[in-house]
Amino acid sequence: MSLIWHIVRKDARRLWVPLVGWAVLINAQHGAEWRLHEASLELPASRIMLEGLIVLFFVIRLVVAYILAAGLVFEDPAAGTTAFWMTRPISGGRMLGAKVVGGLVLLVALPIGIGLPWWWLGTNGFSPLQVGGWQTGIVLGGVTVAALTTSVPRFVAWTVVLQILSLLLVGVWLNPSAQSIAVIKSSLLAAPGTMVTSGVVFAVALGSAVLARYQRRRATFVWGTLAVGAAAVMGIGLLVLG
C-alpha cells in the first residue's frame, strides 16, 4: 500500500498546477452559486447570466476532471516505450490501483472537501453524495479510455467518437416518434433488472480489459474482452426483446 501512496503523491506533485487551477474553478462555481443565492432581488437578466455562468463552470469542471484523470494514467502509461515502470518491481495491478486511488483522492475527495464550506453556507444544491457520484463516474471514464488508448492522440480521438455516440444514443432515446424505438424502450423499462445486469456485465468486461492492458497483454486480447462484453450485453437485450 505504501508503494501505491508513493505513486499518488508523485502524480499529485507533477499535476499540482492544473489541480490548483481546477480547484480555483470549483470555488468560482460555488461562488457564483452563492451570489445567485444572495441575489434574490436582482434583475432577472442578472440571474440568467449567473445561472449560465454556473452551468459553464460546471461543464468545464467535468471536462477538466476527465482530462486530469487521463493525465494520471499518462504519467505512467499502460503500454509504449515511455512506460518505465514496467522495468521496475511493480505489478500492473498495483499501478492500476494507484491510478484509481489517485483519481478518487485528487479528483473526487478534493472537490467534495472544497464544497464543504459552501454546503455549510447552504448555497450548493447538490449533496456531497451526488458530487462524489458524478465525479467518480468522470474519473473512472477518463482512466478507462486513457488506459485502453495508451496515447494522447488516440485518447482524444476515442473521446470524440464516444461523445458523438453518446449524443446519438441520447437523441434516439428521447425521440418517441419511431415505433420500434418505443417498443425497445418499453421492453427495457419493463425489466429494470435486465438493464442493471447488462450494465454490470459490460462494466466487468471493461474492467477486465483495463486490467489486461496493465498486465501487458496483447491488444487483441484487450479488445477481444471488450467485444465479448458488448456481445453479451446485446444478447441480454435480444432475449428481453424476444
The pLDDT value recorded for residue 86 is 64
The pLDDT value recorded for residue 120 is 81
The pLDDT value recorded for residue 25 is 93
Nine-digit cell string for 218: 496483447
CA distance 135 to 116: 15
The pLDDT value recorded for residue 132 is 86
The pLDDT value recorded for residue 169 is 65
The pLDDT value recorded for residue 65 is 95
Q: What is the pLDDT along the chain (242 residues), one digit of tens a residue?
A: 688 888 889 999 999 999 999 999 999 988 888 887 766 555 666 777 888 888 899 999 999 999 999 999 988 887 765 666 666 667 778 888 889 999 999 999 999 999 888 888 766 667 778 888 888 889 988 988 898 887 888 899 989 988 887 777 666 555 655 555 555 555 555 555 666 666 677 778 778 888 888 876 677 777 777 777 777 766 666 555 55
The structural domains of the chain, with segments of one domain joined by +, span 2-174, 179-242
Cβ-contact 236, 197 below 8 angstroms: yes
Count of beta carbons in the 10 Å neighbourhood of residue 51: 13
The pLDDT value recorded for residue 198 is 67
Tell which residue, 69, 98, 103, 65, has the closest CA to residue 214.
98
The pLDDT value recorded for residue 46 is 72
The 8-class DSSP code of residue 78 comes to S
Count of beta carbons in the 10 Å neighbourhood of residue 32: 21
Residue-level length of the chain: 242
The pLDDT value recorded for residue 101 is 92
CA distance 211 to 229: 14
Cβ-contact 22, 139 below 8 angstroms: no
